[in-house]
Structure 1
Amino acid sequence: MLTHDDYTVAWIAPLEVELIAARLMLDTKHEKLPQSPVDHNVYALGSIHGHNIVIASLPTTGNTSAATVVTQLRNTFKQIRFGLLVGIGGGVPTRTDNGPVHLGDVIVNKPERNHSGAIQYDHGKALEGHFRRTGYLVPPPTVLLNAAQDLSTEQAITEDDLVAPHLQKINTRLPALRRYRYPGPDRDHLYKSDYPHRTEGSSCHSCACDPLQRVDRNANESQNDEIYYDRSSRIVVHRGTIAAGERVIKDGRLRDELANAHGALCFEMEAAGVMNDFPCLVIRGISDYADSHKNDGWHGYASATAAAYARQLFFHMPVDEVKQCAVGLAST
């Protein structure tokens, strides 16, 4: 029978829609283990490709909740080496080496020269009329960076998509799982950054947002983009900077301002709480463009693509190395 010390990887899925996708990615599910009365987390235990994984969700979104969940998890599962923070995020409609960023794409943090690839954009100091960011987060562990690099390399030289097949683990024929289906390119609408949503709480269709205010992205995307990045059959992954903060970004102009200042590809709300003292890789499926037109239509599919990427990552991590890292961490 497995014990707490047999688990080496934590998978944090903040929202219920993300938690369901995470649990469906497991190869096998394990029986629950006893935990301390002061540990209020609810865990799902299982394995992927020989790696024993603890999946936890958050009672509420945000950095504080994330920090509390991780602290309790690590007190119960003392051999946990590192974590994956997997869920949805608001994307920046920019371009990377893998092409333009669209809804349903996956963003993975990648360290830059002066930070870990995940920055806390709203944490800093006001100095002589300008704001200096001081929110530097712990870099992902080497084993995860190597796995992400190996996956990226394998994908570049392989004709077939390595990530998309994992979506088949989610049976979207079931009524409760239909929200994880690919919504289709006709529902991927980007509006001009200075055009606000007309009625809060209503869809763009219901409140008649002007379609003439949408950005014609086809005019800026080459024919090669359209051929190679067929998003109905392929998940596009971008690696770069993810920006974490305490608030939801729902303003296209603010999105662009922050993205330009920090080189961010995505905005989210939990990384700062998880990564302050816990080595972690952030994986976000793009569910909206961080503007006032955001809605829940892409939440399911974006959760699924992020979870599918996280699952594939375990096939690029040596099991023995992860276990040795966990033992080494516990003995220090």
Structure 2
Amino acid sequence: MTVITNRGIISHGDNNNFSNNAVGEHARVSTTDRSPDNGTPVGGGNADERTTTWDVGVVTILSEELRSVIDELGLERRKEPGGLYFYRGKHTTPDSTIRIVATQSQSQGQRSAMAALENLRRHYNPRLWALVGVGGGIHDEHARIGNVIVSTDIVYYENRKINPRGDVRRRGEHRQAPAPVVHAVNAFFTDHGTPARIHGRLPAHAAQEFEVYPGVIGSGEAVIADRESDIRRYLTNYHEKVLAVDMEAGGLSQYWQENSVHGGVNPGWIVIRGVSDNADAQKGHGYHELASRNAAHILRRLLPYLC
């Protein structure tokens, strides 16, 4: 609090609003700091948007991933004060209307994903985080290109000890999503089978059938394009159900864990990865759109279970 003394007249206000006025010798007013957004609550927009917590916050990394989510869910662009872009909309299920907001991280990797999550939290405070997009398959049977992996288990593989002779000992961190999310995913596969089956979401692949599996995602900072990579060997030895790898899910699970100290309800989280390559020498961008579209479709199919 700032206390101001003056002789004569003192007023605190703006061009259209005058308040905290005082007249006379030693006139005083007391002021408190005003918020930078002039008191606009979370979400901006009209009164309903300001007071309502959003249901699902989606983070994507690539433009193909964001476009797929926008098209699948019918989202519309919104620019928030400060220059951040979000894409928002509603999805109606037989039981409820779900409010969804999506954004794209600035770059690949754990740190940028965590920053995108923080932006979503500050502006929309969603009840559920969803990381949706492409990943590299490392399981020949389940993770062929175009299949989708739904994960509530993340293994972060980057932590390691390097001994004097170059011997590397990796120290994996394994985190699981909250129980309600796990139950929701289990219910989806109970209803649709394991694997669940979908047709390709691009016209060129519409006649082709793809499979959807629950599985573990390995996550770190490396772009893996080597079938003989020590990371692939480590992950398959660590847990035989590691089906795919990405560069962001570890950041999501870390953000979720550290966000739990703020009190209140900590959002749940889920990772949905369409397989765009097999983390080998053939890795490329040719199947990004197919994998993104398939992953976004599974997000929509999961919403009635998750919300």
Q: CA deviation at 1:317?
A: 3.1
Measured in 1, the distance between the counterparts of 2:194 and 2:221 equals 39
Matched, 1:298 2:287: yes
Measured in 2, the distance between the counterparts of 1:31 and 1:303 equals 19
After superposition, the C-alpha distances for 1:47-73 in whole angstroms (9 at most, x for unaligned) are 223110110111211111111111121
Structure 1 runs (4+) deviating above 6 angstroms are: none
More helix by share: 1
Superposition pairs for residues 92-107 of structure 1, below 5 Å?
92-95=138-141, 100-107=142-149
Secondary structure at the counterpart of residue 257 of structure 1: helix
Aligned-residue Cα RMSD (Å) equals: 2.7
Which of 235, 239, 248 does residue 259 from structure 1 map onto?
Answer: 235
Secondary structure at the counterpart of residue 276 of structure 1: helix
Is the 2:77–2:85 Cα contact (8 Å) retained in structure 1? Answer: no
- Partner of residue 11, structure 1: 58
Secondary structure at the counterpart of residue 68 of structure 2: helix
Secondary structure at the counterpart of residue 94 of structure 1: coil
Is the 2:199–2:207 Cα contact (8 Å) retained in structure 1? Answer: no
Q: CA deviation at 1:88?
A: 0.4
Superposition pairs for residues 76-91 of structure 1, below 5 Å?
76-78=123-125, 80-91=126-137
Structure 1 pair 301–118 and aligned structure 2 pair: CA distance change class (3 A): same
After superposition, the C-alpha distances for 1:52-107 in whole angstroms (9 at most, x for unaligned) are 011011121111111111112101113x1221101101101333xxxx43110011
Measured in 1, the distance between the counterparts of 2:145 and 2:159 equals 28
Q: CA deviation at 1:135?
A: 2.7
Measured in 1, the distance between the counterparts of 2:237 and 2:102 equals 34
TM-score, normalised relative to structure 2: 0.70
Q: CA deviation at 1:44?
A: 0.1
- Partner of residue 29, structure 2: none
Secondary structure at the counterpart of residue 84 of structure 2: coil
> Aligned letter for 1:131?
R
Measured in 2, the distance between the counterparts of 1:20 and 1:29 equals 9
Matched, 1:153 2:190: yes
Q: CA deviation at 1:257?
A: 1.4
Structure 1 pair 31–289 and aligned structure 2 pair: CA distance change class (3 A): closer
- Partner of residue 66, structure 1: 113
Is the 2:160–2:168 Cα contact (8 Å) retained in structure 1? Answer: no
Q: CA deviation at 1:150?
A: 1.3
Matched, 1:277 2:255: yes
> Aligned letter for 2:249?
A
Instruction: Give the paired residue count.
Output: 240
Superposition pairs for residues 127-276 of structure 1, below 5 Å?
131-137=169-175, 139-156=176-193, 161=197, 163-164=198-199, 167=201, 172=203, 181-182=204-205, 232-254=207-229, 256-263=232-239, 264-276=242-254
- Partner of residue 47, structure 1: 90
Percentage of matched positions with identical amino acids: 25
Matched, 1:288 2:288: no
Secondary structure at the counterpart of residue 252 of structure 1: coil
Secondary structure at the counterpart of residue 74 of structure 1: helix
> Aligned letter for 1:17?
E
- Partner of residue 67, structure 2: 20
- Partner of residue 196, structure 1: none
TM-score, normalised relative to structure 1: 0.65
Is the 1:125–1:134 Cα contact (8 Å) retained in structure 2? Answer: no
Is the 2:136–2:244 Cα contact (8 Å) retained in structure 1? Answer: yes
- Higher gyration radius (CA): 2
- Partner of residue 123, structure 1: 159
Q: Which runs of 5+ in 1 are unaligned?
A: 111-116, 173-180, 183-230, 319-332
